[in-house]
Amino acid sequence: MSLSGFEPVRRDATASEVRDSRTRLKVLFVLGALPAALIALLAPKAIALPAASLVSIVLAFAVAFYAYRARVNYRSQGLTFWDLAGMLAFIGFGAGAMSEPLAALELFGMTATR
C-alpha cells in the first residue's frame, strides 16, 4: 500500500493551546456557578445573598490570582480568565449591595446592637 499524496497534518501550537484554554475556561465557568447554586439551595434565605457575595468575591480573587500568575493577556480576543474574575466580582458586589446589613452580620455570627 502506497502513501502517495500523504502529508502529515501540521497543527499550529497556538491553536491547540486556545482549544485547551477554552475548555479550561468552560470548566471554570461551570465551577464558578456551582457554589452560587449550592448556596441558593442549601443556605437559609436570610443569609443566601451575603454568602453568595462572599463566595463570589473569594472566587474572583482566586481566578484573578491565577490569571496574574499565568500571565494571561487581558487584551486577547474572546473570554479570558480576567473576564471570568470580573464577572465573579460583579456578581459578588451586586449580591452584597442587594443584601441586608443585618443578614450580613448574621452570616458572621454577629448581632446588631443599638
Domain ranges of the chain: 44-114
Residue 71, sorted as left (phi over 0), alpha (psi -120 to 50) or beta, turns out to be left
Cell 475548555 belongs to 23
User: CA nearest 36: which of 20, 55, 22, 17?
Assistant: 55
- Rounded to two decimals, the pTM is 0.67
Question: pLDDT tens digit string along 26-47?
Answer: 777 777 777 777 887 888 888 8
For residues 113 and 76, what is the distance between their CA atoms, to the nearest angstrom?
50
Average pLDDT in the chain? 77
Q: Which of 16-20, 55-59, 67-71 has the lowest mean pLDDT?
A: 16-20
